[in-house]
Amino acid sequence: MHIERNIYDNIIGTLLNISGKSKDGLNTRLDMMNIGIRQQLVPKVQENRTFLLYACYTFTKE
């Protein structure tokens, strides 16, 4: 029961981009960049801020 709930929370948190529930953060993106996969998801650094682009599996309001 607990494992099913945790898996559900992780999947829904990632799909809906819920803050604190998503497993798709800066460290994950940097790890993927170091490995050399998903280059379209590399964090964008502009001036003093770092931007994470939405992944293809993330729902947005658009």
Q: Above 80 in pLDDT, residue 32?
A: yes
> CA torsion 55→29→8→17, rounded to 10°?
-50
What band does 35 get if pLDDT is binned at 50, 70 and 90? Answer: very high
The Cα–Cα gap between 41 and 50 comes to 12
Mean pLDDT, residues 21-32 taken together: 81
Q: What is the domain partition of the chain in residue ranges? A: 24-62
The percentage of the chain sitting over the pLDDT mark of 90, rounded to a whole number, equals 8
- Which three-class secondary structure state does DSSP give residue 35? helix
The percentage of the chain sitting over the pLDDT mark of 70, rounded to a whole number, equals 97
